[in-house]
Amino acid sequence: DITAPIGIEEFRRAGATKVFDPDKVVLIPDHFVPNKDIKSAQQCQLMRQFAREQNLTHYYEVGEMGIEHALLPEQGLVLPGDLVVGADSHTCTYGALGAFSTGVGSTDFAAAMITGEAWFRVPETIRIIYQGKRRPWVDGKDLILYTIGKIGVDGALYQAMEFTGEAIANLSMDSRLTMANMAIEAGGKNGIIAPDKLTKEYVQSRAKRPYKFHYSDGEAKYIQTLDIDVTRIEPQVAFPHLPSNVRPISAVGNVVIDQTVIGSCTNGRLEDLRTAARVLKGRKR
């Protein structure tokens, strides 16, 4: 994303001249487009020049793209079984497809562009089992906010958060992407969901290369297992200034809404827009 220029500087400082594979390095000038000022435009220009210099297959210009963590799954650029690193902390989004994906700093990002390799300590895993049928208006955003409210913003520090159970099996892909995306808000190294029929349906029309489903084995050891009854979860609202400061909608009170933003890498997908449209239908003034 737009943090890439710092990684490009590290790339040059290391004396590198070529990325390891032009097909596997993706640059998207997310966050800063359309450009709000000269500095933003210059940052995007640096990315554009680097992409052309390196003959990158996947560089998305303004008007050809969207938010990176929505775009990459939709374009089939990340697939089940992949190991993905990105310069943005919400790179953990792709765990919804059964990939191991995580955010890294600029130095590690540069090293990955040069070598195609990265060093990791294998994270312990928290298994979170969501059982029961969701209430109306409750989706993946509510499940993950509720979870973060329970364990805190450091409750999964450098740990994988494995989301499973009946309620996860019945979630849409958009909601799964939201849950994996927010693993970082609990300090998680990544969020991950085992691939299933829905995953296959999502990727088979998008994939342009082979992919592989991976699953936890029967003897997998977990640092912690949490059981969550989703029948008790209302729509959730996160108050300032932490995503763990969560309240159920019944405890919010009468709050006047002056302005709303529907978007971001967490909730800017078609399902979110449709949900908002349902809420607003017939309430136009």
Q: Among 110-114, 254-258, 261-265, which range has the highest average pLDDT?
A: 110-114
Query: Residue 175's pLDDT band (boundaries 50, 70, 90)?
Result: very high
Query: In the prediction, which pLDDT does 257 show?
Result: 85
Query: In the prediction, which pLDDT does 283 show?
Result: 82
Query: In the prediction, which pLDDT does 171 show?
Result: 95
Query: In the prediction, which pLDDT does 43 show?
Result: 87
Cα(11)–Cα(5) distance, integer angstroms: 10
Percent over 90 (pLDDT), the chain = 70
**First-residue to last-residue Cα distance in the chain:** 38
Angle at 243 (CA atoms; ends 242, 246), nearest 5 degrees: 105
Query: In the prediction, which pLDDT does 159 show?
Result: 95
Query: In the prediction, which pLDDT does 3 show?
Result: 80
Question: Could you give the C-alpha distances from 30 to 87, 243, 259, 265, 269, in angstroms and in order?
Answer: 11, 23, 23, 10, 15
Prediction pTM value: 0.91
pLDDT digits (tens, 9 = 90+) for 81-101: 999 999 888 899 999 999 999
pLDDT digits (tens, 9 = 90+) for 25-66: 999 887 777 778 888 888 888 999 999 999 999 998 877 777
Is residue 150 pLDDT above 80, yes or no?
yes
Is residue 2 pLDDT above 90, yes or no?
no
Query: Residue 231's pLDDT band (boundaries 50, 70, 90)?
Result: very high
Question: Could you give the C-alpha distances from 181 to 10, 28, 207, in angstroms and in order?
Answer: 27, 18, 21
pLDDT digits (tens, 9 = 90+) for 118-129: 999 999 999 999
The domains located in the chain, with CATH, are: 1-66 (no CATH), 125-280 (3.30.499.10)
